[in-house]
């Protein structure tokens, strides 16, 4: 079977086409800015403008026509309302026009589910992106959130710090490059509260120190990463110990960061468990993960009526009953 997936929760529009074992096409276009962040209305306009040409290119790359698609999936949430509504409307229109089943997919779950295309069975997932930071694992028929941010996502924290430094959006790759040149660790607030995390303190203090002009930017970037990533690894390791699972996966846009990969890999090796990071095009927001998860849901018996496809900006990961695994 062939599934088409449309991703549009935030600044990235993605179109993916997959089978159960293979990605046939995975194209995306990301709204970027030199200064400031992303406005929801601008993201929606970006998606609406590019959806049709990107869909055409994805079908061409996959070598298929819309008539060949068996299932249409879309990112139902969580995310920016205006952006979500653009992709939901497009998915509904395609489903009705071509008489195809439609599946609404939880964006966070899709990030973990795509790892199963590569043979991962039952992992603890560290999902790190702009708006989301969660430690997830499948327990009792749902993806349980074993730990999450209490304020802002790690990606947003990094981007906000980058914005304060005047280096634009997205800030992750730029902060990582600065951190690689860091020479000394500057103490910053380390906030793990039970199994949850907080990044507002480390962000506020890093910005305050930067504004004093007394610290090298490279040292601050290095210290920011070391502090925030150590907290992420600590909570992930606790979830591994609690669940007894033998696989850890790192997913989401921040999974591109090599230092975070290195720290998680070290933890996994010390515990004698497997560690996996998907190819970056499947870590970042993308349509293939939506298509793959939608296909797994459909094959597992999940069905949606058109009236079930209303977008959900605050779609909790643990609200979804996982009947397909």
Measured CA to CA, the distance from residue 260 to residue 269 in angstroms comes to 14
Whether residue 176 is annotated as binding a ligand: the answer is yes
Question: Which one, of 295, 302, 317, 298, lies nearest residue 3 by Cα?
Answer: 295
Whether residue 156 is annotated as binding a ligand: the answer is no
Q: Tokens for 270, please give them.
A: 């010390």
State how beta strands 71-77 and 3-7 pair. Answer: parallel
Whether residue 190 is annotated as binding a ligand: the answer is no
Whether residue 242 is annotated as binding a ligand: the answer is no
* CA 307 centroid distance within chain: 26
Whether residue 122 is annotated as binding a ligand: the answer is no
- Classify residue 91 by burial, with Cβ atoms within 10 Å: 0-12, 13-18, 19+: buried
Whether residue 111 is annotated as binding a ligand: the answer is yes
Whether residue 318 is annotated as binding a ligand: the answer is no
Whether residue 128 is annotated as binding a ligand: the answer is yes
CA dihedral 279, 232, 74, 296 (to 10 degrees): 70
CB 95 within 8 A of CB 101: yes
Q: Tokens for 294, please give them.
A: 């939608």
Whether residue 277 is annotated as binding a ligand: the answer is no
Whether residue 257 is annotated as binding a ligand: the answer is yes
Whether residue 285 is annotated as binding a ligand: the answer is yes
Whether residue 253 is annotated as binding a ligand: the answer is no
Positions at the binding site for Fe cation: 107, 111, 127, 285
Binding-site residues for substrate sit at 127-131, 159, 172, 176, 257
**Which parts are annotated binding residues?**
107, 111, 127-131, 159, 172, 176, 257, 285
């Amino acid at each position: 079977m062939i599934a088409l997936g449309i991703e549009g929760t935030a600044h990235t529009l993605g179109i993916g086409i997959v089978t159960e074992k293979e990605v046939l096409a995975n194209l995306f276009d990301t709204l970027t800015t030199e200064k400031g962040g992303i406005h929801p209305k601008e993201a929606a306009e970006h998606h609406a403008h590019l959806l049709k040409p990107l869909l055409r290119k994805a079908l061409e790359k996959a070598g298929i026509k819309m008539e060949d698609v068996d299932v249409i999936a879309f990112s139902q949430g969580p995310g920016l309302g205006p952006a979500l509504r653009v992709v939901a409307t497009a998915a509904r229109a395609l489903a009705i026009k071509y008489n195809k089943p439609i599946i609404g997919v939880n964006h966070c779950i899709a990030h973990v589910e795509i790892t199963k295309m590569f043979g991962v069975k039952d992992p603890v997932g560290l999902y790190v992106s702009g708006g989301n930071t969660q430690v997830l694992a499948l327990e009792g028929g749902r993806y349980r959130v074993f730990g999450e941010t209490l304020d802002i996502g790690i990606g947003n924290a990094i981007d906000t710090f980058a914005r304060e430094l005047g280096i634009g959006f997205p800030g992750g790759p730029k902060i990582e490059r600065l951190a690689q040149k860091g020479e000394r660790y500057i103490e910053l607030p380390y906030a793990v509260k039970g199994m949850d995390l907080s990044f507002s303190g480390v962000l506020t203090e890093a910005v305050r120190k930067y504004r004093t002009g007394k610290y090298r930017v490279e040292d601050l970037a290095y210290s920011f990463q070391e502090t925030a990533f150590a907290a992420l690894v600590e909570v992930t390791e606790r979830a591994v110990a609690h669940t007894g699972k033998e696989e850890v996966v790192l997913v989401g846009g921040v999974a591109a960061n090599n230092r975070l990969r290195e720290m998680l890999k070290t933890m996994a090796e010390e515990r004698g468990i497997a560690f996996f990071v998907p190819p970056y095009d499947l870590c970042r927001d993308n349509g293939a993960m939506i298509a793959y998860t939608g296909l797994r849901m459909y094959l597992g018996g999940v069905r949606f009526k058109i009236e079930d496809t209303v977008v959900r900006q605050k779609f909790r990961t643990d609200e979804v009953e996982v009947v397909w695994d």
